[in-house]
Structures are given as C-alpha cells and as structure tokens.
Chains A and B, each alone.
Chain A
Amino acid sequence: MTCVELQQSLAEIEDGSGAEQRAHLETCPTCLALLAELNLIASSARDLSEANEPSPRVWNSIEIVLRTEGLIRPPRADRPHPASFAARWGFARWMVPAAAALLILVGIYVRQHSLASPENMATIPAQQPLQDAAAAGLNDDELLQEVADKTPATQAQYQDHLRRANEYIQDAKQDVQADPNDEEARRSLMEAYQQKAMLFDMAMDRSLP
C-alpha cells in the first residue's frame, strides 16, 4: 500500500486498523502523523456540540408563540407557589449581583479592548478579566461548594461545566492576546465570560429540587 492508497483507504476504515493499513503505518511516520491529526480533529469536534448559548431572544419568541397558540395555559389556582428566591437560596443570594457584576466588568473590559489602539493594548494587563471576576466574588470553589451543599448529585455536572467554561475563556483570551484587533476573538471572549456567568445563574435556578 502506498501513501496515496493509505489516505484513500482512511475514508472506509478511518481508524487505520485494516491489515494493509497497519502494515503501511508501521513503516511510514508521515502517514502515522496524518492519522493522528485526523483523530485529533475528530475527538476535538465533540467539544463543539454544546459550545454556544442562544440569546434570550429565542426563548422569548418561543414563549410568545406558545402563549399565542394556547399551548401554555394559566396555572391552576391549587398549585402551591414556588418558594421565594431568598428562601430557596439563603446566603447564596450573593451570586446574583456577583454574576451581574462579572458581566458588566467583562463588558467594560471588552469595550476597552475594542477602543484601544494596538499600542495601548500592550499596557492592558492580560489577567484583568480574571482579576475582575475574582473581585466580583465569583469563585469556582465557592460555587461548587454551594451546589454540593444543596444538590450533591449535580456537583460533578457543574464541575464539568466550569472546567469547559474556563477552558473556553483561556482559548478566547489567547486569541485576543494574539491579535487584539480580532473582532471575533473579542466577541468570543465576551461570550465565554457570559457562559460562565450563566453557569452561576443556572446554579441558582436549576440545582435545587
């Protein structure tokens, strides 16, 4: 099997496990590297399955249509009212202003970047958003502790969500630092912080029974 044949055969047996493929791969580091790169792309793709959050406009529009079409009906009078926010969350109420503060700070940060000249960009500390986040009182460990206290079963999920959000922030930050004029990278950084803020919001709304 030649290199060209190997490449063609990967469409049919994508993991390179065919007998002829294996024989070729044992002697050809170039094709082995190609296979590793294709596998890396395939495995990285799963991270994109929930990478984006729709804007609130989507739910608002859905809700309007559901009400217009009569699919949402008024609640029955005998249903107990949900517990008040304070009763449900106790001292975790600090998360609301903290999440709001984070969003505002990130907005200011991204706006500063968009207005700053490339020369000035060098003077803006790279760690600023994270410091802002810390100043706003947003601490991953505290969030996880809150979730663990209230609903231990969801702690692993939140841990995973937080890890992904933090990785996304790091990726986006690197792109902004590499090219401060990259509008899309700045937008991604904003989105990344919004996602993290939404996690805190979600924890408040969803982690309780």
Chain B
Amino acid sequence: MTDPKPRQSKDVSEAQAIERAKQGDAEAFQVLYDMHKRRVYSLCLRMTANTAEAEDLAQEAFLQLFRKIGTFRGESAFSTWLHRLSVNVVLMHLRKKGLPVVSLEETTQGSGGEEDTPKKDFGAEDVALAGSIDRLQLRRAVESLPPGYRTIFVLHDVEGYEHNEIATIVGCSIGNSKSQLHKARMKLRDLLKMQRAEKAEKS
C-alpha cells in the first residue's frame, strides 16, 4: 500500500503503546485501538455493507492483532500490518459466506457479458457529476455495488492499494483487478447519476 496514512501520526506514542501493549498494559491496547478503529471499521463496513458484520470483523481483526503483537518487530509500519490483516479477515469472511471476492472474468476484453459491453450513451449530458460528490450518496452507491466490484474498488480507491498488491491479496491477475476497478467506477457513476436524478425529481 503506497499511503497507509494513519490519521494520527503519533509515531512515537504509537511505538510506546506497542511496547506497553506487549507488556499487557490495558491502556496501551486502547490507545492502539483508538488510533486505528475508524479506518479498520470503515474498511470492514465498506466491504461488507453491513454494520453488524463490520463490527464483528473489526473486533476479530483487532483481536488477531493484539494476540500477535508480541511478534511485531517494527519491520513494517504497524498500520500497514493492521490494515492488511483486516483485509484478510474480511476476505476470509466473504469467502466463508460464499460471496465472490472478485468476479470470475479475467480481462477487459472478450468476456461478452452485458456488464462488459461499453455503453453507447455514456457521458450523456443527463445528470452531470460535476463539482463534488456527496459522501452519503457515495457510501450508498458503494454498498450497492456487486461484492466483487466492491472489493476491488474499496481496496484500490478507498484504501490506496496498488493493483499488484490487490492481485496478491485477493488472488487474481493484475489485469482482472484493473478491469474490475474500471467497471466498478462505471457502475458507481451510473448509480450516482440515478441518485442525483431521483433527488432532482423530488425537489
């Protein structure tokens, strides 16, 4: 991940908290939890689109982390370690539920499904997405994505993973990751335009 970007850049205090957590200090565990809870929970929520599942998965991710914290040697950033672990917890959960972590098609060309056919009317000036996108609307649109598209979109555009990292994490080709991302964005564009059109009709 190119930009792990923990919200609180308290490197020193985080390092101190890690060392204290290794000694079993309750407050240190909570400090680490508070530093990363929003990012971990938001990741779980974006990928599952279910509040209860997201809370359970965030809990599981932190527990796995805290159980292994004695082995953390600081070779990689703590946040990178935690977020990668969280992604694995969520993907494992999705697989157990039988949901596709990534769509089966391999590349952009030749799969022939309706979703793959470029739309002739794309870019039509019906409702433009100019300006900014309302976060609540974007959250809803992401929740409406098919699980396979959602996974790739969240990992790439929300969490900042590169395609080669996503390919390793979810077990697909780099081309597939790129293709899924593009389709996810196209789908989101349609969903957001629909939302805007509905809103305009109401007002």
Q: Which residues from chain A sit less than 8 Å from chain B, CB to CB?
A: 3-4, 7-8, 10-12, 14, 30-31, 33-34, 36-38, 40-42, 44-55, 57-59, 61-63, 65-67, 69-73, 75, 157, 161, 167-168, 171-172, 174-175, 178-179, 184-185, 188, 202, 205-206
Contacts and interface: CB of A to CB of B under 8 A. Distances in A.
Interface residues of B, number: 69
B105 to A, nearest CB: 12
Nearest to B183: A11
Interface in B1-48: 5, 7-9, 23-26, 29-30, 33-34, 37-39, 41-43, 45-46
A7 B39 contact: no
B58 A69 contact: no
A47 B158 CA distance: 7
B71 interface: no
A75 B24 CA distance: 8
B158 A49 contact: yes
Contact of A14 (B38, B130, B182): B182
A4 B157 CA distance: 24
Nearest to A205: B34
Interface string B122-136: 111100111011111
B138 interface: yes
**Closest 3 A-B residue pairs measured CB to CB?**
A73-B24, A11-B182, A45-B157
Contact of A66 (B66, B138, B175, B186): B66
A73 B24 CA distance: 5
Tell me the dominant secondary structure on chain B's binding face: helix
A116 B153 CA distance: 38
A166 B183 CA distance: 32
A10 B182 contact: yes
B109 interface: yes
Nearest to A161: B7
B122 A54 contact: no
Contact of B23 (A48, A73, A171): A73
A155 to B, nearest CB: 13
Interface string B111-126: 0000000111011110
A208 B178 CA distance: 44
13 contacts: A7-B122, A12-B108, A31-B123, A33-B123, A41-B192, A44-B135, A48-B142, A54-B41, A62-B63, A71-B24, A73-B23, A167-B135, A178-B202
